[in-house]
Protein backbone atom coordinates (compact mmCIF):
# COMPACT_ATOMS: atom_id res chain seq x y z
CA UNK A 1 0.00 0.00 0.00
CA UNK A 2 1.38 3.48 -0.83
CA UNK A 3 2.10 5.87 2.03
CA UNK A 4 1.08 9.50 2.29
CA UNK A 5 3.79 12.08 1.77
CA UNK A 6 1.91 15.33 1.97
CA UNK A 7 1.18 17.90 4.63
CA UNK A 8 -1.85 20.17 4.53
CA UNK A 9 -2.00 23.74 5.72
CA UNK A 10 -5.33 24.55 7.37
CA UNK A 11 -6.55 28.10 6.63
CA UNK A 12 -6.90 28.82 2.93
CA UNK A 13 -6.34 25.17 2.06
CA UNK A 14 -8.80 23.03 4.01
CA UNK A 15 -11.04 25.77 5.38
CA UNK A 16 -12.05 29.19 4.11
CA UNK A 17 -11.08 31.33 7.05
CA UNK A 18 -10.54 34.52 5.05
CA UNK A 19 -14.13 34.83 3.82
CA UNK A 20 -15.30 34.45 7.39
CA UNK A 21 -12.82 37.08 8.61
CA UNK A 22 -14.07 39.54 5.99
CA UNK A 23 -17.67 39.03 7.15
CA UNK A 24 -16.59 39.27 10.78
CA UNK A 25 -14.87 42.61 10.11
CA UNK A 26 -17.75 43.90 7.97
CA UNK A 27 -20.17 43.32 10.84
CA UNK A 28 -17.98 45.69 12.85
CA UNK A 29 -18.00 48.30 10.09
CA UNK A 30 -14.51 47.45 8.91
CA UNK A 31 -13.74 46.90 5.24
CA UNK A 32 -11.04 44.46 4.16
CA UNK A 33 -8.86 45.81 1.33
CA UNK A 34 -6.50 43.22 -0.17
CA UNK A 35 -3.05 44.63 -0.93
CA UNK A 36 -0.98 41.59 -1.87
CA UNK A 37 -0.04 38.14 -0.81
CA UNK A 38 -1.75 37.68 2.52
CA UNK A 39 -1.55 41.40 3.22
CA UNK A 40 -4.50 43.72 3.54
CA UNK A 41 -5.48 47.14 4.75
CA UNK A 42 -8.68 48.05 6.50
CA UNK A 43 -11.02 50.99 6.18
CA UNK A 44 -11.13 52.55 8.70
CA UNK A 45 -7.53 51.82 9.58
CA UNK A 46 -7.10 49.86 12.81
CA UNK A 47 -3.99 49.07 14.84
CA UNK A 48 -2.16 45.76 14.34
CA UNK A 49 -2.97 44.83 17.92
CA UNK A 50 -6.67 45.34 17.32
CA UNK A 51 -6.50 43.49 14.02
CA UNK A 52 -4.83 40.44 15.62
CA UNK A 53 -7.41 40.56 18.35
CA UNK A 54 -10.14 40.34 15.67
CA UNK A 55 -8.25 37.62 13.77
CA UNK A 56 -8.09 35.51 16.92
CA UNK A 57 -11.66 36.21 17.85
CA UNK A 58 -12.93 35.30 14.36
CA UNK A 59 -11.19 31.90 14.63
CA UNK A 60 -13.46 31.04 17.53
CA UNK A 61 -16.55 31.05 15.28
CA UNK A 62 -15.90 27.47 14.25
CA UNK A 63 -19.35 26.94 12.70
CA UNK A 64 -18.85 29.96 10.41
CA UNK A 65 -15.56 28.78 8.94
CA UNK A 66 -16.57 26.56 6.05
CA UNK A 67 -14.48 23.77 4.59
CA UNK A 68 -13.10 24.39 1.12
CA UNK A 69 -15.34 22.62 -1.38
CA UNK A 70 -13.99 19.17 -1.92
CA UNK A 71 -11.58 19.25 1.00
CA UNK A 72 -13.22 16.46 2.96
CA UNK A 73 -13.52 14.28 -0.15
CA UNK A 74 -9.80 14.58 -0.84
CA UNK A 75 -8.85 13.77 2.74
CA UNK A 76 -11.15 10.74 2.72
CA UNK A 77 -9.76 9.63 -0.63
CA UNK A 78 -6.14 9.88 0.53
CA UNK A 79 -6.83 8.04 3.76
CA UNK A 80 -8.76 5.25 2.00
CA UNK A 81 -5.91 4.91 -0.48
CA UNK A 82 -3.16 4.64 2.09
CA UNK A 83 -4.60 3.97 5.54
CA UNK A 84 -2.35 6.80 6.76
CA UNK A 85 -3.65 9.65 8.93
CA UNK A 86 -3.80 13.04 7.22
CA UNK A 87 -1.13 15.45 8.46
CA UNK A 88 -1.98 19.09 9.06
CA UNK A 89 0.35 21.85 10.27
CA UNK A 90 -0.89 25.32 11.01
CA UNK A 91 0.71 28.42 12.43
CA UNK A 92 -2.44 29.57 14.12
CA UNK A 93 -1.68 30.85 17.62
CA UNK A 94 -1.43 28.13 20.26
CA UNK A 95 -3.94 30.07 22.37
CA UNK A 96 -6.56 28.95 19.85
CA UNK A 97 -5.77 25.25 20.06
CA UNK A 98 -9.27 24.28 21.23
CA UNK A 99 -11.11 25.95 18.36
CA UNK A 100 -8.45 24.76 15.94
CA UNK A 101 -9.04 21.14 16.93
CA UNK A 102 -12.77 21.65 16.50
CA UNK A 103 -12.22 23.20 13.07
CA UNK A 104 -10.00 20.30 12.01
CA UNK A 105 -12.51 17.78 13.37
CA UNK A 106 -15.18 19.46 11.29
CA UNK A 107 -13.28 19.41 7.99
CA UNK A 108 -11.78 15.94 8.44
CA UNK A 109 -15.19 14.50 9.38
CA UNK A 110 -13.87 11.32 10.98
CA UNK A 111 -10.79 10.85 8.78
CA UNK A 112 -7.87 10.18 11.15
CA UNK A 113 -5.32 12.99 11.32
CA UNK A 114 -2.18 14.21 13.04
CA UNK A 115 -1.68 17.88 13.52
CA UNK A 116 0.88 20.33 14.80
CA UNK A 117 0.85 24.03 15.58
CA UNK A 118 3.97 26.05 14.86
CA UNK A 119 4.99 29.59 15.76
CA UNK A 120 6.43 30.26 12.35
CA UNK A 121 5.80 28.81 8.90
CA UNK A 122 9.54 28.04 8.76
CA UNK A 123 8.98 25.40 11.41
CA UNK A 124 6.48 23.44 9.36
CA UNK A 125 8.79 20.74 7.98
CA UNK A 126 10.45 20.15 11.34
CA UNK A 127 7.37 18.76 13.03
CA UNK A 128 5.76 16.69 10.33
CA UNK A 129 8.20 15.20 7.91
CA UNK A 130 6.78 15.02 4.44
CA UNK A 131 8.27 15.92 1.08
CA UNK A 132 5.18 17.72 -0.19
CA UNK A 133 3.18 20.59 1.22
CA UNK A 134 -0.04 22.33 0.24
CA UNK A 135 0.06 25.93 1.40
CA UNK A 136 -1.80 29.00 0.22
CA UNK A 137 0.70 31.53 1.53
CA UNK A 138 3.03 32.44 -1.29
CA UNK A 139 5.97 33.30 0.95
CA UNK A 140 5.68 29.99 2.76
CA UNK A 141 5.31 28.08 -0.51
CA UNK A 142 8.43 29.65 -1.99
CA UNK A 143 10.39 29.25 1.26
CA UNK A 144 9.57 25.55 1.43
CA UNK A 145 10.32 25.07 -2.26
CA UNK A 146 13.76 26.64 -1.80
CA UNK A 147 14.47 24.02 0.83
CA UNK A 148 13.72 21.30 -1.72
CA UNK A 149 10.12 20.51 -0.86
CA UNK A 150 7.45 20.20 -3.49
CA UNK A 151 4.74 22.75 -2.77
CA UNK A 152 1.24 22.99 -4.16
CA UNK A 153 -0.07 26.52 -3.88
CA UNK A 154 -3.78 26.90 -4.61
CA UNK A 155 -4.63 30.10 -6.39
CA UNK A 156 -6.58 32.42 -4.13
CA UNK A 157 -7.69 36.02 -4.56
CA UNK A 158 -4.95 37.25 -2.21
CA UNK A 159 -2.32 34.99 -3.60
CA UNK A 160 -0.53 36.01 -6.76
CA UNK A 161 0.11 32.77 -8.59
CA UNK A 162 3.70 31.88 -9.23
CA UNK A 163 2.64 31.36 -12.80
CA UNK A 164 -0.12 33.64 -14.03
CA UNK A 165 -2.71 30.96 -14.81
CA UNK A 166 -5.72 29.58 -13.09
CA UNK A 167 -5.10 26.77 -10.63
CA UNK A 168 -2.29 25.47 -8.53
CA UNK A 169 1.25 26.57 -8.76
CA UNK A 170 3.61 23.75 -8.00
CA UNK A 171 7.15 24.52 -7.08
CA UNK A 172 9.86 21.94 -6.90
CA UNK A 173 13.48 23.01 -6.79
CA UNK A 174 12.83 26.03 -8.91
CA UNK A 175 10.56 24.33 -11.41
CA UNK A 176 7.02 25.57 -11.54
CA UNK A 177 4.13 23.53 -12.84
CA UNK A 178 0.42 23.90 -13.04
CA UNK A 179 -1.95 21.23 -11.88
CA UNK A 180 -5.53 22.37 -11.86
CA UNK A 181 -8.15 24.07 -9.76
CA UNK A 182 -8.52 23.43 -6.04
CA UNK A 183 -12.14 24.39 -5.66
CA UNK A 184 -13.58 21.71 -7.91
CA UNK A 185 -14.15 18.51 -6.01
CA UNK A 186 -13.71 16.24 -9.01
CA UNK A 187 -10.74 18.16 -10.29
CA UNK A 188 -9.18 18.08 -6.87
CA UNK A 189 -9.36 14.33 -6.62
CA UNK A 190 -8.08 14.04 -10.16
CA UNK A 191 -5.08 16.16 -9.18
CA UNK A 192 -4.37 14.03 -6.14
CA UNK A 193 -4.52 10.86 -8.20
CA UNK A 194 -2.13 12.26 -10.77
CA UNK A 195 0.45 13.71 -8.45
CA UNK A 196 2.28 10.63 -7.39
CA UNK A 197 4.78 12.52 -5.29
CA UNK A 198 2.10 12.63 -2.62
CA UNK A 199 2.83 9.01 -2.01
CA UNK A 200 6.08 7.90 -0.47
CA UNK A 201 6.47 4.89 -2.73
CA UNK A 202 6.75 7.07 -5.83
CA UNK A 203 9.43 9.23 -7.31
CA UNK A 204 9.39 12.84 -6.16
CA UNK A 205 10.66 13.99 -9.53
CA UNK A 206 7.47 12.93 -11.23
CA UNK A 207 5.08 15.82 -11.26
CA UNK A 208 2.05 16.49 -13.35
CA UNK A 209 0.31 15.50 -16.48
MG1 LIG B 1 -2.85 29.11 5.00
pLDDT digits (tens, 9 = 90+) for 86-141: 999 998 988 999 999 999 999 999 999 999 988 877 777 766 667 778 888 877 87
Q: Given a cut of 60, is residue 192 above it in pLDDT?
A: no
pLDDT at 174: 47
Ligand 1 centroid to residue 137 C-alpha, Å: 6
pLDDT at position 27 is 96
pLDDT at position 142 over 60: yes
The predicted pLDDT at position 63 comes to 93
pLDDT grade, residue 56 (50/70/90)?
very high
Distance (Å, whole) CA 75 – CA 206:
21
Query: If you measure from the C-alpha of residue 207 to the centroid of ligand 1, how many angstroms do you get, rounded to a whole number?
Result: 22
Single pTM value for the model: 0.80
Q: Give a three-class secondary structure readout of 7-50.
A: EECCECCCECHHHHHHHHHHCCCCEEEEEECCEEEEECCCCHHH
Q: How many whole angstroms separate alpha carbon 119 and alpha carbon 134? A: 18
Residues with Cβ–ion distance below 5 A, ligand 1: 9, 11-12, 136
Distance CA 167, CA 191 (A): 11
| 98 CA to centre of ligand 1 in angstroms | 18
**pLDDT > 80? residue 28:** yes
Question: Would you say residue 84 has pLDDT above 70?
Answer: yes
C-alpha of residue 87 to centroid of ligand 1, in Å: 14
Q: How many angstroms separate the alpha carbon of residue 10 from the centre of ligand 1?
A: 6
Report in angstroms the alpha-carbon separations of 48 from 34, 40, 95, 111, 167: 15, 11, 18, 36, 32
What is the average pLDDT score of the chain?
76
Interval between CA 12 and ligand 1 midpoint (Å): 5
Closest CA to 22 of 60, 63, 65, 62: 65
**Which residues partner with 146 through β-bridges?**
none
Distance (angstroms) between ligand 1 centre and the Cα of 100 equals 13
Residue 57: which pLDDT band, with cuts at 50, 70 and 90? very high
CA–centroid distance, residue 11 to ligand 1 (Å):
4
Q: What is the pLDDT of residue 104?
A: 96
Find the 89 Cα to ligand 1 centroid distance in Å: 10
Quote the ligand 1 centre to 135 CA distance (angstroms).
6
Q: Choose among 117, 119, 147: nearest CA to 133.
A: 147
Amino acid sequence: MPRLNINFDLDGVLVNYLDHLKTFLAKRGIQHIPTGNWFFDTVPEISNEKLFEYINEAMRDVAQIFPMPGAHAVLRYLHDLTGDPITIVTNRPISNIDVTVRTIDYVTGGVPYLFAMVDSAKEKPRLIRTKCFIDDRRRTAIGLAKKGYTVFMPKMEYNTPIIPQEGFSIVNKGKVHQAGVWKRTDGQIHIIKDIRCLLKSDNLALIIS
